[in-house]
Chain A
């Protein structure tokens, strides 16, 4: 709600399928290669070329559909979406219009601490277009066809979201699911996942307003601020007596504003019709079943399991499972270790260093087994938490193992009782006057003995055991 207005939001996500080759050709999909270096005759739409469906991309779409709790359609049809543009070599995009590969589904998001279901209307397969480069030459536009023909999944939600937060939660959740399924790398900066957001506003209890679509948002931040801006713009317009025109709008990342791109009247007539070069896509139930049985544990299930199995809090669990790599990392570390300690180390120490260095968890300077070793040293009392933090930082900087750092610096704690007893005895024998004073009631001197013992051990004495030994010796 903004100033008494309700928001209605629906989202189309374009997710690039993770696959080595394109949807209808065998060209590579590698990101960042030289312009037009990954273009087959089919991708360039040379005369007489024909598309052949990439079975793996179909499998990925089915896997994604299953992950979105959606109906997998046994028969789907590829259509041609016709329009002219320099980076669309065929003069049409092969897409799915009336009969998509995946039908109705849903996902659950967190809305202000409460679970909320968001409906999925459909998921369909389509080709990406090439890229137009307008800034290479004053007169000409350059075209790079490396993206041309890359497989995309368009995931269309129901208009079930009521706030920018929910919208962001939704995209985050879809992204997380696709990454769990390994069907999309979710890399928004590289354009592997982008969203078109439909926004309308209405007064509670009144009919839905006219919607505007904001195209091509490629970060959670932009999604959030574009929705807020657009909703406020619409509210302001309606309140000053204007009508909202159904249109497509673009979000300007520099100004944070949206501006009109084209109205419904100017919308293309795409002249969809079934692509006669491709047979209907028919999927056998057994094949779908086989894919279903290979679906990994998804974030919702994993979150529950982490709460049950490791006693994690609701909050910690959802933080850890939101990203598959994080949850994988966590599980590798937590094996046979204290879950609380592991959670703290992963979500505070590790996250903060990754943030600082702007790294993903897959690029973590400390692999899970080494963080595990460090935690073992803490748990067994060999090092103190204070020492652990220093060692952790050094591990990040040097890539050394905890063990090497501890050995090299002689950092490990003295927890051996007989050794500590000797230490205590020599401290007491060196300070007979103070022992006398303590025994006469000057309790405060206890700290003095601890300090002396620590000094003598070069800080390596296990404070807990030292305290106990000192106490029993002085009080005996």
Chain B
């Protein structure tokens, strides 16, 4: 059977009875087993998956499919709470946590008949862009430079989700994106990553990092797959007060790749001398491609782009410092006993959290402290509205915005800069989108001189995912990017 199946292909194989859910599940479980070196999975739920696959095959025989994608194996970022399956957020503090409940997003997947293979590694509490902050160790990017044997980061925080799709360890996967955590790893692994509009997908049951920015989304091999998986996970959820009341949409059926008359904005603030030549070239090539397919290019300005990163690194840690207060050793997770309550808190949280998480809790606590609140948090909120306003004004003139997804391609695991701010710069192109709450997609465009994938980012206005997917499909179909990583990791 053909490897590197995408969602639509898997669906059609199942429809034509050329394979079964059990057979597919077995193949992927074998792939996972052979890819230990990539360290993509925190938890593999093989037994449960095979059980579910068997049930799916029975449903198929009885003509009682839950959806057309019934029986397809997926991977789930270890940030989604899954009933009776360990959910750790890749943190020591939750290393023994087994939820009694299922997140809305994963429940939606179950309701569509998808088969979860297990929980995917990620940065601890989704804080990071390298997947190196995970308590379970870094994920390795399936891609390697053609000039070096060095292991590369898959990006983060949904590093496991992106690497697993790229390495064929699942057909599609679920990630979350707070400042680029879906799009940046998608860009680093040659996959498609979609961050939906804030409120499009329920946050209920997803371990919170920064509540006003977090959004779950698909990581897939194709734009069609992203449309299909988004359709499955999206929708109003009365359990999430920030969930949009918008009706479910048929993103896949409504895909239309024409860009005739579509106006594409090119923000001047994203141009930078520091951008690698190959990334700049990919961006330019894509502009030309869209233009020759009938789109109109318009130069736009998003004046507050450069303020987005510092703004993000105030708002996200502020919310995180409060969201992570519940990990106190009292009710769940690990507890390190102490002489008294304060000592128990201190020991539990000192041992339970990694350095990056601690750093962000400290920053967040600081910026919310009396005397600093106005200077940091309030100011950041003001800039956030200015950033949102930049996009509002831009979308009066254009349908979509095209930018690179990341300022570089995947870099070496061992070569991460010591200064965390340097690492934070990875998110410079993705963070403004979260602050504005709008949707964006990263699609693989070409490979650089080292044969590493370069992703480009398309952005539209709130709840215009259909338009976003349509334009992305146009680019995808025109370039026909078929590159896959060499299968070096098979043990």
Residues of chain A whose beta carbon lies under 8 Å from any beta carbon of chain B: 41, 44-53, 80, 82, 84-86, 89-92, 141, 143, 269, 271-273, 276-279
Confirm or deny: B415 has a beta carbon within 8 angstroms of a beta carbon on chain A: no
A127 nearest CB across to chain B (Å):
14
Tell me which residues across on chain B come within 8 A of A269, comparing CB atoms: 369-370
Q: Would you list the 4 A-B pairs with minimal beta carbon distance, nearest first?
A: A91-B325, A276-B212, A271-B368, A276-B211
Tell me which residues across on chain A come within 8 A of B206, comparing CB atoms: 48
Q: How far is the CA of A233 from the CA of B210 in the complex (A)?
A: 48
* Contact B241–A47 (Cβ < 8 Å): no
In-complex Cβ contact of B326 among A50, A51, A91, A278 (8 A): A91
Tell me which residues across on chain A come within 8 A of B204, comparing CB atoms: 48-50
Q: How far is the CA of A182 from the CA of B147 in the complex (A)?
A: 76
* Contact B238–A52 (Cβ < 8 Å): yes
Please provide the chain B residues from 304 to 331 with a CB less than 8 Å away from any CB of chain A in the complex.
318-319, 321-322, 324-328, 330-331
Tell me which residues across on chain B come within 8 A of A141, comparing CB atoms: 341
In-complex Cβ contact of B241 among A45, A53, A82, A89 (8 A): A53
* Contact B326–A90 (Cβ < 8 Å): yes
A91-B332 in contact given A50-B239, A273-B377 (Cβ < 8 Å):
no
* Contact A50–B370 (Cβ < 8 Å): no
Tell me which residues across on chain B come within 8 A of A90, comparing CB atoms: 325-326
* Contact B99–A279 (Cβ < 8 Å): no
Say whether chain A's binding surface is mostly helix, strand, loop, or mixed: loop
Q: Can you list 21 pairs linking A and B with CB atoms under 8 Å apart?
A: A41-B101, A46-B331, A47-B89, A47-B97, A47-B327, A48-B208, A50-B203, A50-B204, A52-B239, A52-B240, A82-B321, A82-B322, A82-B325, A86-B330, A89-B326, A89-B330, A90-B326, A143-B330, A271-B373, A273-B318, A273-B319
Confirm or deny: B279 has a beta carbon within 8 angstroms of a beta carbon on chain A: no
Confirm or deny: B81 has a beta carbon within 8 angstroms of a beta carbon on chain A: yes
Tell me which residues across on chain B come within 8 A of A273, comparing CB atoms: 318-319, 322, 368, 373, 377
Tell me which residues across on chain A come within 8 A of B210, comparing CB atoms: 276
In-complex Cβ contact of B325 among A46, A49, A84, A86 (8 A): A84
* Contact B241–A52 (Cβ < 8 Å): yes
Q: How far is the CA of A46 from the CA of B81 in the complex (A)?
A: 10
- For B, the interface residue count at a CB cutoff of 8 angstroms equals 44
Q: How far is the CA of A204 from the CA of B212 in the complex (A)?
A: 52
A210 nearest CB across to chain B (Å):
20
Tell me which residues across on chain A come within 8 A of B373, comparing CB atoms: 271, 273
* Contact B332–A46 (Cβ < 8 Å): yes
Tell me which residues across on chain B come within 8 A of A49, comparing CB atoms: 204-205
Q: How far is the CA of A84 from the CA of B344 in the complex (A)?
A: 12
Q: How does the 8 Å CB contact mask read for B376-414 relative to A, with 1 for contact and 0 for none?
A: 010000000000000000000000000000000000000
Q: How far is the CA of A277 from the CA of B377 in the complex (A)?
A: 17
Confirm or deny: B242 has a beta carbon within 8 angstroms of a beta carbon on chain A: yes
**CB nearest to A90 among chain B residues:** B326
Tell me which residues across on chain B come within 8 A of A89, comparing CB atoms: 326, 330-331
Confirm or deny: B87 has a beta carbon within 8 angstroms of a beta carbon on chain A: yes
A76 nearest CB across to chain B (Å):
14
* Contact B328–A84 (Cβ < 8 Å): yes
**CB nearest to A132 among chain B residues:** B341
A45-B331 in contact given A52-B239, A80-B322, A92-B322 (Cβ < 8 Å):
yes
In-complex Cβ contact of A86 among B80, B87, B211, B341 (8 A): B341
* Contact B212–A91 (Cβ < 8 Å): no
**CB nearest to A51 among chain B residues:** B241
Tell me which residues across on chain B come within 8 A of A46, comparing CB atoms: 81, 99, 101, 331-332
Confirm or deny: B94 has a beta carbon within 8 angstroms of a beta carbon on chain A: yes
Say whether chain B's binding surface is mostly helix, strand, loop, or mixed: loop
Q: How far is the CA of A190 from the CA of B208 in the complex (A)?
A: 35
Please provide the chain B residues from 342 to 381 with a CB less than 8 Å away from any CB of chain A in the complex.
345, 365, 368-370, 373, 377
Q: How far is the CA of A165 from the CA of B373 in the complex (A)?
A: 41
**CB nearest to A53 among chain B residues:** B241
Residues of chain B whose beta carbon lies under 8 Å from any beta carbon of chain A: 80-81, 87, 89, 94, 97, 99-101, 103, 203-208, 210-212, 238-242, 318-319, 321-322, 324-328, 330-332, 341, 345, 365, 368-370, 373, 377
* Contact A48–B341 (Cβ < 8 Å): no
Q: How far is the CA of A324 from the CA of B331 in the complex (A)?
A: 43
Q: How far is the CA of A45 from the CA of B325 in the complex (A)?
A: 10
**CB nearest to B88 among chain A residues:** A47
List 11 other contacts, CB 8 Å, given A41-B100, A82-B321: A41-B101, A48-B99, A50-B204, A52-B239, A80-B322, A86-B328, A86-B330, A92-B322, A271-B369, A278-B241, A278-B242
* Contact B207–A48 (Cβ < 8 Å): yes
**CB nearest to A44 among chain B residues:** B331
Tell me which residues across on chain A come within 8 A of B324, comparing CB atoms: 91
Q: How far is the CA of A272 from the CA of B371 in the complex (A)?
A: 12
* Contact A277–B211 (Cβ < 8 Å): yes
Q: How far is the CA of A338 from the CA of B241 in the complex (A)?
A: 57
Tell me which residues across on chain B come within 8 A of A271, comparing CB atoms: 321-322, 365, 368-370, 373
Tell me which residues across on chain A come within 8 A of B81, comparing CB atoms: 46-48
Q: How far is the CA of A210 from the CA of B99 in the complex (A)?
A: 50
Interface centre among B99, B101, B203, B322 (most CB of A within 10 A): B322
Tell me which residues across on chain A come within 8 A of B239, comparing CB atoms: 50, 52
Tell me which residues across on chain A come within 8 A of B377, comparing CB atoms: 273
Tell me which residues across on chain B come within 8 A of A277, comparing CB atoms: 208, 211, 241-242
* Contact A50–B322 (Cβ < 8 Å): no
**CB nearest to B370 among chain A residues:** A269
A47-B330 in contact given A82-B368, A91-B325, A141-B341 (Cβ < 8 Å):
no
Q: How far is the CA of A91 from the CA of B331 in the complex (A)?
A: 12
**CB nearest to B344 among chain A residues:** A86
Tell me which residues across on chain A come within 8 A of B212, comparing CB atoms: 276
B422 nearest CB across to chain A (Å):
28
B162 nearest CB across to chain A (Å):
22
A81 nearest CB across to chain B (Å):
10
**CB nearest to B80 among chain A residues:** A48
**CB nearest to A45 among chain B residues:** B326
Tell me which residues across on chain A come within 8 A of B365, comparing CB atoms: 271
* Contact A47–B94 (Cβ < 8 Å): yes
Tell me which residues across on chain B come within 8 A of A279, comparing CB atoms: 241-242
Q: How far is the CA of A11 from the CA of B89 in the complex (A)?
A: 45
B373 nearest CB across to chain A (Å):
7
B344 nearest CB across to chain A (Å):
9
A47-B325 in contact given A52-B241, A271-B370 (Cβ < 8 Å):
no
A304 nearest CB across to chain B (Å):
44
Q: How far is the CA of A91 from the CA of B322 in the complex (A)?
A: 7
A91 nearest CB across to chain B (Å):
2
* Contact A50–B330 (Cβ < 8 Å): no
Tell me which residues across on chain A come within 8 A of B370, comparing CB atoms: 269, 271
Q: How far is the CA of A395 from the CA of B345 in the complex (A)?
A: 61
* Contact A276–B325 (Cβ < 8 Å): no
B301 nearest CB across to chain A (Å):
29
